[in-house]
Amino acid sequence: MEVLDKVKKQGKKSSYSISIIMPTFNSEKTLEDSLKSIRQQEFDQTQVEILLVDGGSTDRTAEIAQKYHAAIIHNTRKLPEFAKQQGLLAAKGRYGIFIDSDESFINLNSLKNRIRIMEKFPFVKNIVSTGQVCKKGEKGVVRYANFIGDPFSNFVYRYNGYNRIEDLTKQYKYKDIGNGILLNFEGCAVLPLFDALGNMFEIETAREIYYRDGEDKSYAANIFSNMVQQTRCAVVMKDDFLCHRAILNKKIYLNKLKWRVKNNLFRTEGVGFEQRRKKESGLHRKRLLFIPYCVLVVPVVLDAVRLTIKNRDLYFLNHFWYTEYTFFMIVWYVVLKIFHYPVKMGKTYGKDKA
């Protein structure tokens, strides 16, 4: 009863069908495309709540939000992980969707199709998109990042960001249900990495698990893993791609890789891989295997060639350098941690300093 009382206090009663929760920080370059793709959905817009959880933008983010009738919540901690947490607790919808300010829906019936599946299969509490695509002519580092995520995650999860279904049907039990595939995770020691790119969830269930688990500060950032640990199922939509317009160049991407390493090693909130590892037994072994994978070099070279051929994209040969850089960062910061050397953590994703 205590859990349900807390849910009610947070505004459990739904005023909308869907709450779109979007972390923002100086997002004017991509925000309008993202918001437009929500407002253009073939869905009753009076039933769509858009919450921008903003980390202190100084550009036109607020102005654009107002144009598309989006509410702004102030995120004093700046990082998107905490923005998601605030959004989850403030949302007034029956269902929630986490989407980034550089992501846009492509399928105009995305919201409608997802709700139909939730209503048809009430035991399903999580739905994810098919994958992400780039705009025509996008630079190589964006194409690579969209497919890979980061080299460490790609090694652990064998992640295909372009089309999740392609690899999922090889790794997990599934059932074709028309507009999507229903995944069964019973007995699985490792769950897919699905906390981003339009993850949809039932808000009431999400909050119940959040309060039951002791109001973990990293809960929303790992919401797919945290919820599916309980439900053991999820749906991946067909023909429901998002366009990802990452503002990336090689320097920014390397900074993001470094940030992810530092985030997992030094942040006390347990956001990211380290938090998932506590609940997914298979992740510890895969983490250790990353060491010989990088040290032996040849497996990384073979993977770079495989990815290049698979995607017909020569830029993927850079997978070798990005992987070895990630490994070097892990070794470097582990040494600093062992010797208790002070390491600065920035307040915005990928923009911190060593």
For residues 182 and 76, the model is more confident at 182
Indicate the pLDDT class of residue 7, thresholds 50, 70 and 90: very low
Lowest mean pLDDT among 41-55, 77-91, 315-329: 77-91
> What tens digit of pLDDT does each residue of 123-158 get?
999 999 999 998 888 999 999 999 998 999 899 888
pLDDT at 72: 96
pLDDT at 348: 54
**% helix / strand / coil in the chain, to the nearest 5?**
50, 15, 35
pLDDT at 272: 62
pTM: 0.88
- Measure the CA–CA gap between 122 and 135, rounded to whole angstroms: 35
Whether 25 contacts 10, CB under 8 Å? no
**Residue found by looking up tokens 């919808």 in the block:** 93
Within 81-154, strands assigned E span 93-98, 103-105, 126-128, 131-133
Q: Is the dihedral of CA 31, 33, 34, 37 positive or negative?
A: positive
The tokens of 158 are what?
């064998």
Mean pLDDT on 269-287: 69
- Measure the CA–CA gap between 290 and 219, rounded to whole angstroms: 26
> What tens digit of pLDDT does each residue of 318-335 get?
999 999 999 999 999 999
pLDDT > 90: percent of the chain: 66
